[in-house]
Structure 1
Amino acid sequence: MAKSPGLKQVFKAVFGAFVGVQSEQQRQQDFETTSIWPYLMAGVFAVVIFIGILLLLVSWVLPA
């Protein structure tokens, strides 16, 4: 039984998935973990930050 992933491993996996590049070893390690919740929470956090950055860029480029 695999141990819970660390914060660094979770954000590394989420960033790799977000960008679309990840090593096979990292992917296998991610799928051996026991819980999906850390990855879901980090993924939601990453998407919220990404959308916030996009909104800031659009409001900067297209002033109202």
Structure 2
Amino acid sequence: MAESSGAERKEQQKPKGPGVLKVMQSILAGAFGVQSDRRRREDFSGHSPWPYIIAGVLFTASFVVGLIVIVNLVLAGQ
């Protein structure tokens, strides 16, 4: 019984943040405009916004760089 109460105390002391997969799903859904209002509220209800902000900036930067590379490859092939 002592083990379970110790585990419960650890869970209560440290709130668990969103996982990497959940953050990526939210970023992709938001980027394509299909994020539901329920999911958006769930994402920002009790967690820090920093994982979402960092992932969003990284996604946007890689998307723009990817587009630039594709356009340069297409134009170089002509």
Query: Does the alignment reach a TM-score above 0.5?
Result: yes
What do the CA deviations read for 1:30-60 (whole angstroms, capped 9, x no partner)?
A: 1213201100110011011101110111101
Tell me how far 1:62 sits from its aligned partner: 1.1
TM-score (norm: length of structure 2)? 0.70
Equivalent residue for 1:55, pick from 43, 68, 78 = 68
Tell me how far 1:23 sits from its aligned partner: 2.5
Equivalent residue for 1:14, pick from 12, 19, 27 = 27
Q: What is the aligned-residue identity percentage?
A: 37
Match of 1:26 in 2: 39
Q: Indicate the structure (1 or 2) with the bigger Cα radius of gyration.
A: 2
Query: Which segment drifts farther, 3-12 or 22-31?
Result: 22-31
**Which ranges of structure 1 fall in alignment gaps of 5 or more residues?**
none
TM-score (norm: length of structure 1)? 0.83
Q: Quick one: distance in 1 between partners of 2:21 and 2:47?
A: 16
Letter in 2 for 1:28: R
Higher relative contact order (CA 8 A, sep 6+): 1
